[in-house]
């Protein structure tokens, strides 16, 4: 069972693992002129923002689910969702 005072420490550990996962997929994104930025992490959801050529790309939703989300879940199994946040939604 989680205690409230450990929650911020656990979230920081999760953020670190999510960043490692994003670092694993970045070379593929950058090879096509894109990138991804971590915006927020909660206990079960990661919010990211696409950059460069990833913005508006016709396969960005597939990249999000099959590439980014799958890799994040490999590093942090408790993450249930990875969602993309665009400038218009912030």
Question: What percentage of the chain carries pLDDT values higher than 70?
Answer: 88
Q: Provide the token pair at 57.
A: 């790309």
- CB neighbourhood size of 3 (10 A): 7
Alpha helices in 49-88 (DSSP H): 60-62, 70-75
CATH number of the domain where residue 9 is located: 3.30.300.130
The pLDDT of 38-43, averaged and rounded, is 92
Residue 88 pLDDT class (50, 70, 90 cuts): low
Please tell me the total count of domains within the chain: 1
Does residue 89 have a pLDDT over 70? no
Of 32, 14, 30, 23, nearest to 76 (Cα)?
Answer: 14
Domain encompassing residue 47: 4-89
- Cα separation, 28 vs 34, in Å, equals 8
φ, ψ (nearest 5 deg) of residue 59:
-110, 15
């Amino acid at each position: 069972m989680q205690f409230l005072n450990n929650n911020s420490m656990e979230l920081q550990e999760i953020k670190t693992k999510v960043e490692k996962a994003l670092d694993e997929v970045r070379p593929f994104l950058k090879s096509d002129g894109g990138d991804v930025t971590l915006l927020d992490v909660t206990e079960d959801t990661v919010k990211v923002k696409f950059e460069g050529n990833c913005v508006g790309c016709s396969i960005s939703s597939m990249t999000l689910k099959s590439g980014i989300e799958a890799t994040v879940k490999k590093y942090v199994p408790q993450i249930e969702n990875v969602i993309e946040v665009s400038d218009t939604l912030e």
